[in-house]
A and B are shown apart, each in its own frame.
Chain A
Amino acid sequence: MPHGNPRFVHGKILHNTGSGIFYRMEVAIPERIDFVPGQFAMVSGWPGNDPLLPRPLAIFRSGGVRGKGTVEFVYKVVGRGTALLSGLHAGDPLALTLPLGHGFEFPGEDRSWWLVGGGVGFSSVFPAAAALEGQRADFEIFLGARTRDQLPPGEWIPGGAVPGRVHLCTDDGTAGFFGTVAAALRDRIDRRRPTGPARVAILACGPREMLKAVAELALPLDIRVQVSLESWMACGFGVCWGCVTAVRDGEKSGYRRVCKEGPVFDAREVVW
């Protein structure tokens, strides 16, 4: 995938509003940026040195024209950094380094794409859906959450109005499929027989256990799987070597940077 060169920019928040457990934040930036779905930004908005490090957030959308851009994020409050972000208002400054990392790869092939998002993982999966919709590709979306109110609002789902396209799954059965996304995928694969899973590719983002379950289900069936991993990051652009994950490298294994070689990896390489 082509990597746009990263930039460090000072933006200004246009809006930052809560919707259920998620916040959606749009930021005005000096230049329009192009990004590959799965790429992310390092974001810091709070003054002072505590928390010290910026936080990685997937780029949800970007827009604008030359000389004037916007970028949008979706996030969930889980700790101090995201809590501070949620307290920012329209007009507040935000520092951003973006776009970063290696995103999802979409070879322009004739495939069915299954996009899998667990928790807030939809934030990097929806941009992929939007791109596939633009290519008029065939895709379905699987969204997993603990309960109904932890699913994203339906109107955020690109192409979500198409019947049969969106599969909701909840751990407690309060919406859609009663069970994990991996179980829903298993079900979907069974229903696809006898044609089998040929020419299906999966793009997934979510908790590591979910990604592992999806990989273990799909890889033996020769379904290509790309997973977007998370990791604690200090820099986000490849210089601190703090964010590594273990990968199989031929016979050997080694550590690769989630922020640079990732966050999207071919699931066959990942050592879970």
Chain B
Amino acid sequence: MTQSVTPDLSARVGSVLLKNPVMSASGTFGYGLEFTPFYDISRLGAVIVKGLSLLPTPGNPPGRIVETPAGMLNAIGLQNIGVERFVTEVAPRLDDLGAVYVANIYGRTIEEYEAVARRLSEVPALAAIELNASCPNVKEGGIAFGSNPEGLSGLTRRVRAATPKPLWVKLSPNVSDIGAIARAAEEAGADAVTLINTLVGMAVDPRTRRPMLSNVTGGLSGPAVKPVALRMVWEACKAVKIPVVGIGGIQSAGDALEFLLVGAAAVQVGTANFRNPNACVEIVDGIRDFFVRERIFRLDDYRGKLLLRE
């Protein structure tokens, strides 16, 4: 007689405990509230909320998204209500939903990042802060903090000092050596690195001769980026000791398992939520089913167990 044991899917990203390794990715899940008609969001490992900046940000003009083969480009330009309204209007509503929340933050200057992180430190509902060091769609300031180890190190150090919350640093894939970037974040005090953010891309209309996006370039996401993301997550896992959270093109439990296998502590699911609002929970269920079938009892028995030829 076989006895079916419910596998233990619990995951850990530094000091943050998750009931399973599946989180929603920032900018694709609103504040989580938008998903409550579809399912109980406390079933997820965590919800990463939409990027917050110090001041309300109007975002880029229309022409913000375009579909590309098995992917999409976006140049939203971080339209958001600003940290103050988030803290006073949105955060109080999150308590009742019972999910683990992580805030994603963005600044045009280091001082703005610090101010946002400081303000969010006062929000008990937040388990961690994810620092977006690399939004490809915001031109102001011009400094892409995430594009070199020195810039990222300086930023991480300052934000680290500004908040007692666990600090996750979200890495840009638009770099030549992701391992060096991940190490810079680790050495500067990050509790975890999350990657990848979107790959900078472009689409033009041959007839009108115009770019499809008002911002000209945008960030590529979806299944098209998955192989690149997987390779980068694998390299980051080899480069650092802190947890690595894998993101990029995850659509199914199988995709998520690939990231876990190369060493990710957990994963985030972004673009897949658009076509299937239930994508995140279906991935949780799919991982559980896989573990039952494969007789894997704990996530840790599988995570990082990639078999390489000698």
Contacts and interface: CB of A to CB of B under 8 A. Distances in A.
Contact of A240 (B37, B62, B251, B274): B274
Contact of B273 (A235, A242, A246): A235
B271 interface: yes
Contacts of A245: 62
A139 interface: no
Q: How big is chain B's contact interface, by range? A: 20 to 34
Given A52-B72, A53-B72, A244-B64, A8 B34 contact: no
A254 B58 contact: yes
Given A95-B276, A234-B274, A242 B38 contact: no
A237 B276 contact: no
B5 interface: no
A254 B79 CA distance: 10
Contacts of B58: 254-255
Interface in B18-66: 27-30, 34-35, 37-38, 50, 58-59, 61-62, 64-66
A155 B185 CA distance: 66
Interface stretch (A21-29, A43-51, A106-114, A192-200): A43-51
Contacts of A233: 65
B38 A8 contact: yes
Given A95-B275, A240-B74, A246 B223 contact: no
Contact of B274 (A5, A6, A54, A231): A54
Nearest to B76: A241
Given A5-B37, A231-B62, A240 B276 contact: no
Interface string B101-134: 0000000000000000000000000000000000
Contacts of A8: 38, 276-278
Nearest to B29: A239
Main SS of the interface on chain A? loop
B79 A239 contact: no
Contacts of A6: 37-38, 277
A250 to B, nearest CB: 14
A236 B29 CA distance: 12
A235 B74 CA distance: 12
Contacts of B307: none
Contacts of B35: 239
Interface in B258-277: 271, 273-277
B70 interface: yes
Given A44-B275, A240-B27, A53 B251 contact: no
Given A51-B67, A241-B59, A7 B72 contact: no
A52 B76 contact: no
Interface in A242-259: 242-246, 254-255
Contacts of A246: 61-62
Contact of B65 (A7, A49, A234, A255): A234
B71 interface: yes
Contacts of B277: 6, 8, 97, 235, 237
B222 interface: yes
B70 A52 contact: yes
Given A239-B30, A241-B59, 17 more contacts: A7-B38, A8-B277, A44-B275, A50-B69, A51-B67, A234-B74, A234-B274, A235-B274, A237-B34, A239-B28, A239-B29, A239-B50, A239-B274, A241-B50, A246-B62, A255-B62, A255-B79
19 contacts: A6-B37, A8-B38, A8-B277, A49-B70, A49-B223, A52-B67, A52-B70, A53-B274, A53-B275, A97-B277, A234-B271, A235-B274, A235-B277, A238-B30, A239-B273, A240-B28, A241-B79, A242-B65, A246-B62
Interface of A: 5-8, 42, 44, 49-54, 95, 97, 231-246, 254-255
Interface of B: 27-30, 34-35, 37-38, 50, 58-59, 61-62, 64-67, 69-72, 74, 76, 79, 222-223, 251, 271, 273-278
